Amino acid sequence: MYRFSTLCWRIYHLCVFTCGHYYKESENNTLAKKWYEKAAEQKITRAYVGLANLEENKSDKKALLEKASALGDAKADYNLAISYLENDELTAAMLVEKSAKAGYFHAMSLLSGMYREGIGVKQNWEKAFDWSLQTYQRAKALNVAAVDLSIPATKNTNLLFEDTYKQLVIFYLLGIGTEKNEAKAQQLLAERNSLVQNKTVKNILEELSLDELKVEILTMDIPKEYQERVAILEAEMNSNHDPEFWLKLGEKTEDQTKAKDYFGSACDFGSQKGCDKYREINEKQMNK
Q: Which residues pair with 147 in a beta bridge?
A: 163
User: What average pLDDT does the structure give for the chain?
Assistant: 81
d(C-alpha 251, C-alpha 259), whole Å: 7
d(C-alpha 99, C-alpha 171), whole Å: 24
d(C-alpha 277, C-alpha 76), whole Å: 53
Report the amino acid identity of residue 14.
L
Q: Which of 11-20, 27-36, 125-134, 247-256 has the lowest mean pLDDT?
A: 11-20
Q: Over the stretch 85-107, which tens digit does the pLDDT of each residue have?
A: 888 899 999 999 999 999 999 99
Residues 106-127, mean pLDDT to the nearest whole number:
94
The answer to whether the CB of 174 falls within 8 A of the CB of 180 is yes
Task: Please say whether the dihedral angle defined by the alpha carbons of residues 213, 173, 260 and 220, taken in this order, is positive or negative.
Answer: positive
In the chain, what are the domains?
A: 1-71 (1.25.40), 73-208 (1.25.40.10)
DSSP string for residues in 119-185? SSS---HHHHHHHHHHHHHHHHHHT--SEE--PPP-S-GGGS-EEHHHHHHHHHHHTSSS---HHHH
- CA of residue 109 relative to chain centroid, distance: 5
- Tell which residue, 164, 159, 157, has the closest CA to residue 132: 164
d(C-alpha 258, C-alpha 249), whole Å: 9
d(C-alpha 284, C-alpha 128), whole Å: 40
Q: Over the stretch 135-194, which tens digit does the pLDDT of each residue have?
A: 999 999 999 889 888 776 566 556 667 899 999 999 999 999 999 999 999 999 999 998
d(C-alpha 254, C-alpha 236), whole Å: 21
Beta-sheet pairing, 147-148 with 162-163? antiparallel
